[in-house]
A and B are shown apart, each in its own frame.
Chain A
């Protein structure tokens, strides 16, 4: 059900800048459904793991205070064109999604 994560990884010198846009409602559990008046249950991404060529570079834990369709930007030193970036997320219902992209040259 989860839509793919859009990832862009570009290298300048030896620093790879990764920008990822995950697709997730990120419900806080505080919002009411306008039709039923019931609270919409919490549903959000809890952990995001990013790897470069199989090595973990960023291990993030999130709360429901991250905006809907989370954006995540980070930088890795020591990457080159063709390296593989994989981003995996897991939400509080156990849903997960993993997407990968190859590093490209900037500009």
Chain B
């Protein structure tokens, strides 16, 4: 089962991975619930720790990932980000804003025909690189784009 394999690949600690795998295995495929919220990753204070929590400490840069974001965002509270991954077999996309207090912004797992595309609006505390990390077949690929923020969006 694909879901099970992914849970195992993603799990950071062995015990955690087994617990997730067991939970995933018990559910019928049509009823797979949202996997458990990645508290370690979202609480991480550096981009490196955040990437480690999703199992992506080693990434290779890829030109097949396109991040569409403004060069200069006037309002850091609403920064539109669009990520398109042309990598075949894209399973998940993670968004990381390097200099945010909690860099990991969101993760998206695709299945059952969902394309490697996601569009969201994020908050950014200050000018920083935005990273998109794509997981395809267990390998992680990344692309970055710098976004300059004139008014930070974390306090307001």
Contact = CB atoms under 8 A, between A and B. Distances in A.
Interface of A: 15, 19, 28, 30-32, 46-49, 52, 54-68, 70-79, 90
Nearest to B35: A59
Interface in B91-116: 97, 100-102, 104-115
A66 B106 contact: yes
B113 A67 contact: no
B8 to A, nearest CB: 16
B121 A70 contact: yes
A96 to B, nearest CB: 10
A59 B155 contact: no
Interface of B: 30, 32-35, 37-38, 42, 77-80, 82, 97, 100-102, 104-115, 117-124, 153-156
A52 B112 contact: yes
A79 B107 CA distance: 23
Q: Tell me if A's interface is mostly helix, strand, loop or mixed.
A: strand
Contacts of A72: 118-120
A13 to B, nearest CB: 12
A63 B39 CA distance: 9
B111 A30 contact: no
B107 A66 contact: no
Contacts of B119: 19, 71-74
Contacts of B37: 46-47, 61
Contacts of B38: 61
A19 B97 CA distance: 23
Contacts of A30: 101, 154-155
Indicate the member of A65, A67, A90 with the most B CB atoms within 10 Å: A65
Contacts of B101: 30
Contact of B110 (A57, A63, A78): A57
A67 B122 contact: yes
B49 to A, nearest CB: 14
Contact of A65 (B34, B100, B112, B156): B100
23 contacts: A30-B101, A47-B35, A49-B34, A52-B113, A56-B32, A57-B110, A57-B111, A58-B108, A58-B114, A61-B108, A62-B106, A66-B121, A67-B77, A67-B122, A70-B120, A70-B121, A71-B120, A72-B120, A73-B82, A73-B118, A77-B114, A77-B115, A79-B113
